[in-house]
C-alpha cells in the first residue's frame, strides 16, 4: 500500500474490520479518555471479544460496555496478558510499569501517556500522517500529545509540499486535557461562584490558578529555559511525527475554561513560495481535516466537541515575513487528541493484518 493510500485508508471508519474478535483491555477505563475510548470502540464497531477494564483500584468503580456492567480492578501483568490489545489511558507510571513487558510478550499496546512518545524504538503515530510507521517491529505504539495533534494533521500536506521551516503556536487548551479531577475543579469553582459571587481558591485544586472565568499561560511545570512541559512536548513530538528534526517551533500553551476542544493560533513560515489558492487547495485535500475557506465559518471548541477529525479556518497571509501564513485550528482533545486516534491506530493495525487473535 502506498503512503498516500495508507493515509486515506486510515480515515475509513471500521469498514473493513475482520470478523475475528480481539480481546481488549483498557487501563484507565474510568477516566476522561477511557470513557470516550469505550464509546468509540462500540460506535466504530471495533471487533471486541473479551473486555477487561482497569482503574487505579482506589475506589470501587465500574464501567458499562456494550450494555454490560464491568467492575474495574487494579491492573497486574497476569490479567493484562489475557488481552490481545491493551489501551493505556491512565498515567505515565502505569504505562512504564507494564507496556514494554506486555509488548515483548506479544500483546499490542497503544499508549496515550507521554512515557514512550520520544523513545526512538516506539512509533509515535497519527494514522493520517504516518501510518507507515506501524509495522511488525514494535507492538508498543504511542499516541501523541493532544495539543500538537491538530497542527500535525492540519499542516501536514502543506509541510510536505512547501516545507514548513518555522512554526509559532499559541494554544488555548480545554480543562478536560488535564483529566477528570480538573473538570471537577472547574465545576466546583463555578458552583461556588454562582452561590457566593466569587471564584474560590480551592486548596486541593489540580491547576496552579483558578480556571473559572480565567486563563493562565501554564500547562505543566517550567524547565530552566522557562518552557512549560506542554510547550516542550509540542516541539519534540511534532518533529518526530513529521520526521522533521530541523523544524523550528515556538509555542505558548494557555489553559482556558473550555470543557473540551483545544484551539491553536498558528503562524507557519515555509521554505518554498505559495499562493493562498495553493494553500487552500492543499488544506481542502488534507486527510482528516475539515477546512473552512469562508473566514466566517471558523471552527470553535464547542462545535468541534465530540466530532471526528480536525477543523481549521481563517487562513491568511501573515504580515510578519514573506512565505508566512496564519491558520486557526481546533480539535477535540479527547477524540482526535486521544481516544479516537488510539482507536484509529488499532483499526489501522487490523487493516494491515498486524493485529490478530494469537494464541500466546
34 binds ligand NAP (CB under 6 A): yes
Nearest one of 54, 224, 249 to 164, comparing CA atoms: 249
* Active-site residue, from 72, 109, 159, 262: 262
The correct pick among 6, 84, 100, 112 for binding ligand NAP (CB under 6 A) is: 112
147 binding ligand NAP? (CB under 6 A): no
Q: Which residue's CB is nearer to ligand NAP, number 113 or number 323?
A: 113
Nearer to ligand NAP, 76 or 303 (CB): 76
- Can you spell out the DSSP letters for 215-267? -BS-SS-B-TTS-BHHHHHHHHHHHHHTT-TT-EEEEEEEE-S-SS-EEEEEE
Span 157-176, contacts to ligand NAP by CB under 6 A = 176
Size of interface with ligand NAP, in residues (CB under 6 A): 32
159 is known as an active-site residue: no
Q: Take residue 203 and report the three cell numbers written for it.
A: 486548596
- Give residues 307-346 in contact with ligand NAP (rule: CB under 6 A): 333-334, 337-338
- Span near ligand NAP by CB under 6 A; candidates 164-172, 179-187, 212-220, 351-359: 179-187
Residue 28 sits in the site that holds ligand NAP (CB under 6 A): yes
Stretch that binds ligand NAP, among 54-62, 76-84, 128-136, 201-209 (CB under 6 A): 54-62
The window from 39-47, 84-92, 132-140, 243-251 that contacts ligand NAP (CB under 6 A) reads 84-92
Q: Which three cell numbers stand for residue 319?
A: 504580515
From CA 215, how far away is CA 320, in angstroms rounded?
27
- 54 binds ligand NAP, rule: CB under 6 A: yes
Asked if 237 is part of the footprint of ligand NAP (rule: CB under 6 A), the reply reads: no
Could you tell me if 292 and 299 are in contact, meaning their C-beta atoms sit under 8 angstroms apart?
yes
- Cα distance between residue 269 and residue 249, in whole Å: 10
Query: b/e per residue, 239-271, with b = 16+ CB within 10 A?
Result: bbbbebeebebebbbbbbebebbbbbbbbbbbe
Identified binder of ligand NAP from the candidate list 9, 41, 55, 110, rule CB under 6 A: 55
* 146 in active site: yes
> Are the beta carbons of 263 and 171 closer than 8 angstroms?
yes
Pairing, β 108-111 against β 85-88: parallel
Q: Are 352 and 344 in contact (CB under 8 A)?
A: no
Rounded CA separation 85/148 (Å): 25
Q: Show the binding pattern over residues 195-234: x = contacts ligand NAP (CB under 6 A), - = does not.
A: ----------------------------------------
- Could you list the residues that contact ligand NAP (CB under 6 A)? 27-34, 54-56, 58, 61, 74-75, 89-91, 94, 112-114, 146, 176-177, 179-181, 333-334, 337-338
Active site residues: 146, 262
Amino acid at each position: 500500500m502506498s503512503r498516500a493510500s495508507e493515509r486515506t485508508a486510515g480515515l475509513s471508519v471500521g469498514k473493513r474490520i475482520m470478523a475475528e474478535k480481539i480481546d481488549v483491555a483498557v487501563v484507565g477505563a474510568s477516566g476522561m479518555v477511557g470513557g470516550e475510548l469505550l464509546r468509540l470502540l462500540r460506535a466504530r464497531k471495533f471487533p471486541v471479544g473479551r473486555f477487561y477494564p482497569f482503574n487505579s483500584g482506589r475506589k470501587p468503580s465500574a464501567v458499562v460496555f456494550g450494555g454490560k456492567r464491568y467492575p474495574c480492578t487494579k491492573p497486574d501483568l497476569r490479567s493484562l496478558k489475557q488481552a490481545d490489545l491493551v489501551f493505556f489511558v491512565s498515567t505515565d507510571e502505569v504505562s512504564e510499569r507494564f507496556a514494554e513487558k506486555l509488548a515483548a510478550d506479544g500483546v499490542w499496546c497503544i499508549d496515550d501517556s507521554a512515557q514512550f512518545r520520544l523513545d526512538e524504538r516506539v512509533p509515535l503515530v497519527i494514522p493520517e500522517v504516518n501510518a507507515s510507521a506501524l509495522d511488525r517491529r514494535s507492538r508498543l505504539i504511542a499516541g501523541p500529545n493532544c495539543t500538537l495533534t491538530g497542527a500535525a494533521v492540519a499542516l501536514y500536506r502543506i509541510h510536505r509540499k512547501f516545507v514548513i521551516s518555522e512554526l509559532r503556536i499559541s494554544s488555548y487548551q480545554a480543562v478536560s486535557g488535564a483529566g477528570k479531577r480538573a473538570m471537577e475543579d472547574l465545576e466546583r469553582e463555578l458552583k461556588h461562584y454562582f452561590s457566593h459571587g466569587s471564584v474560590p481558591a480551592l486548596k486541593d485544586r489540580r491547576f496552579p490558578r483558578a480556571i473559572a472565568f480565567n486563563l493562565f499561560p501554564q500547562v505543566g511545570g517550567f524547565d530552566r529555559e522557562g518552557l512549560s512541559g506542554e510547550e516542550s512536548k509540542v516541539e519534540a513530538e511534532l518533529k518526530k511525527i513529521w520526521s522533521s528534526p530541523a523544524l523550528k517551533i515556538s509555542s505558548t500553551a494557555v489553559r482556558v475554561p473550555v470543557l473540551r476542544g483545544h484551539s491553536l493560533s498558528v503562524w507557519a513560515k515555509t521554505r518554498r513560495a505559495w499562493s493562498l489558492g495553493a494553500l487552500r487547495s492543499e488544506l481542502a485535500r488534507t486527510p482528516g481535516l475539515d477546512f473552512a475557506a469562508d473566514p466566517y465559518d471558523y471552527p470553535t471548541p464547542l462545535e468541534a466537541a465530540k466530532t471526528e477529525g480536525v477543523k481549521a479556518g481563517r487562513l491568511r497571509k501573515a504580515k510578519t515575513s514573506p512565505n508566512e501564513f496564519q491558520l486557526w485550528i481546533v480539535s477535540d482533545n479527547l477524540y482526535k487528541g486521544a481516544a479516537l486516534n488510539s482507536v484509529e491506530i488499532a483499526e489501522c493495525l487490523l487493516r494491515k493484518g498486524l493485529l490478530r487473535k494469537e494464541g500466546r
